[in-house]
Chain A
């Protein structure tokens, strides 16, 4: 067992390394579950548990410093315990929720603790020694996988036996109840996502997705494709290219004449280094050292004196926070500005900071919506719908659907930022491309969400109507009217309470109770 425990610990550490592996969603239960399954010799079970947990934690996303429950530790440990005890997804879920909430407290503590390093970072900047900054950034980044790996290992080593015998005592009615309750929980994830995207204008797209899957039985992947097509058609109608109006005052913002003479290799290294943006995330200065770490190749090329290097390092150790997905655009622009600063005497150094500060918020708004609200939803929808049936393609497609657009965009934005500077943004601001993109992506996201509501929550009612021999199941009648009526109703009910600002924890407990009681009273199955 020891070897398995060590391997499972390694999986948890891998998940926690996501912060310096580009925020590529390798830490999601859908990805880590199968890995745990592989180690424990039951890949398929791992895939299914991963998909179940993914659906429940779907609405949990990291926006800014709002830290969601730690699904990495929670997901890995609960998947392991469920497989070891042979109890299946329902138990995984019952364990994952409390474990991830506890683990989140530890991680928040680490994010507070990391502020201690800031004095160090400043001192190294003063010395102009970028190497030490790089080292400390990575060291701090390693703390999270190391700490959480230790906790995972200790829990497995000292808790697995006890947990196994404890789980073996769970009576069948209890695990049946948990299973039904578990099947209801995705309603919460869907409702939380609806809360971000659903409104009167966009409601039809949700129902379009729902009906296409419910009546026509289209798979979620088809809805993803139809979503793209619908979005292109609709935004083509609603977003006409802007006609020349509003006295174009494009001279108001002067784009600096760019030099852009740094080798491509250097700019490319900015992209690679941006992968570690979140490594030293802390509650005081957020991604500051991540930014410094990313821009160092440019500083090295430009500043040869200790004095100039120190000034530049200090400049880039200031508070910074943006969406990692669009971060390279800012890093690229800043690279061009640093080059300008080096070449021109009268360059205003302060303008570098004002560009950074001016762009980080708005761009986070754009890229968070695009990636969390659209790509993540589509990727998880397609991935989980395959994985829930035990198909290994699920997690693979999940990673591909999210990361192909992510990495292509992130790579190109580095060069766009460097070569065109703020001009690119000005052009973007003049057209309505951004608006088109946000509207289009909410159409896609909602269609997939509608499809997920129809396919990924298996709740039926075993109630019968009529005498013993002529009994008709209620479910049969419901299906005649609208298939998947119960999941739809449940999602909207949860959405209603989310809108009423009921706390997520209460909703979670409420759904668990409803499923549990429903199962015992034979209303739901």
Chain B
């Protein structure tokens, strides 16, 4: 069962290891990222941050989808981390179970604007967000579990 699907371009870090994993009682952390899955150095660093008593899997997007669709893994309590809205959208198309996407952290880049403390989006992201919203997926911004949920659509309008 997927406990949370989170967009966070730092992938595994303090907020994830230290607040989300314990508070959701997650036992499996999946980093769904094509680049990291191929990079031995990044894999090594992420393994260092693996929270105690948690399994950390680093998979490509395609492998993540097949892992999550596998009946054998239905019992796991999973937190899926992706680094971009695009990747989150791709996952949500492959997996119907994803009904809500948490926006945790997207850093600013050329031409982006800050819609919340830790979320920057570009114009290219907006159609993706609209499409996800149309498909009835809740898009909520929270850095840590105790933050109150803010909806991405409402933040874009501002």
Contacts and interface: CB of A to CB of B under 8 A. Distances in A.
A283 B117 CA distance: 6
B47 interface: yes
A196 B14 contact: no
Nearest to A504: B146
Nearest to A502: B146
A366 B48 contact: yes
Interface stretch (B17-25, B60-68, B123-131): B17-25
Contacts of A439: 52-53
Contacts of B46: 361-362
B49 A362 contact: yes
Interface stretch (A90-98, A163-171, A377-385, A426-434): A426-434
Given A64-B15, A192-B146, A195-B22, A369 B45 contact: no
A403 interface: no
Contact of A366 (B15, B19, B49): B49
A65 B117 contact: yes
B17 to A, nearest CB: 4
Interface in B1-46: 10-19, 22-23, 25, 39-42, 44-46
Nearest to B116: A283
B145 A501 contact: yes
A425 B41 CA distance: 10
Interface string B47-58: 111111100000
Contacts of B146: 192, 503-504
B107 interface: yes
A66 B48 contact: no
Interface string A228-254: 000000000000000000000000110
B14 A65 contact: no
Interface in A463-509: 499, 501, 503-504
A197 B23 CA distance: 9
Given A64-B118, A369-B18, A252 B40 contact: yes
Contacts of B120: 284
B94 to A, nearest CB: 25
Given A358-B41, A425-B48, A195 B144 contact: no
Interface in B130-147: 143-147
Contact of B44 (A198, A286, A366, A426): A426
Given A284-B108, A319-B107, A253 B117 contact: no
B8 to A, nearest CB: 8
Contacts of B89: none
Interface string A297-326: 000000000000000000000010111000
A27 B43 CA distance: 36
The residue in B14, B17, B147 that gathers the most chain A C-beta atoms within 10 A of its C-beta is: B14
Contacts of A284: 108, 114, 120
A64 B25 contact: no
A435 B52 contact: yes
A253 B13 contact: no
A434 B51 CA distance: 9
Contacts, number: 134
Given A362-B45, A425-B45, A429-B48, A196 B23 contact: yes
Contacts of B48: 362-363, 366, 425, 428-429, 434
A373 to B, nearest CB: 7
B41 A368 contact: no
Interface in A357-395: 358-369, 372-373
Q: Is the interface of A mostly helix, strand, loop or mixed?
A: helix
Nearest to A429: B44
Given A201-B53, A284-B108, A429 B47 contact: yes
A355 interface: yes
A253 B41 contact: yes
A420 interface: no
Nearest to B51: A438
B96 interface: no
Contacts of B22: 195-199
B118 A364 contact: no
A196 B15 contact: no
A66 B144 contact: yes
B16 A365 contact: yes
A422 interface: yes
A285 interface: yes
A253 to B, nearest CB: 5
Given A319-B107, A368-B14, A369-B18, A108 B117 contact: yes
A361 B11 contact: yes
A499 B49 CA distance: 24
A196 B108 contact: no
A22 B11 CA distance: 26
Contacts of B40: 252-253
A369 B108 contact: no
Interface in A58-99: 63-67
Given A319-B108, A425-B45, A64 B114 contact: no
Contact of B114 (A198, A283, A319, A368): A283
Given A63-B18, A64-B13, A366-B48, A503 B148 contact: yes
Contacts of B145: 501
Nearest to A195: B23
Nearest to B120: A284
A438 B47 contact: no
A504 B19 CA distance: 15
Interface string A395-435: 00000000000000000000000000010011011000011
Interface of B: 10-19, 22-23, 25, 39-42, 44-53, 105, 107-108, 114, 117-118, 120, 143-148
17 contacts: A64-B13, A65-B143, A66-B147, A108-B117, A196-B18, A253-B41, A285-B107, A319-B107, A358-B41, A361-B11, A364-B10, A365-B13, A366-B49, A369-B18, A425-B44, A429-B44, A429-B47
* Complex A-B, nearest 9 residue pairs according to Cβ-Cβ distance, in ascending order: A361-B13, A362-B49, A365-B17, A365-B49, A368-B14, A361-B10, A364-B14, A438-B52, A252-B40
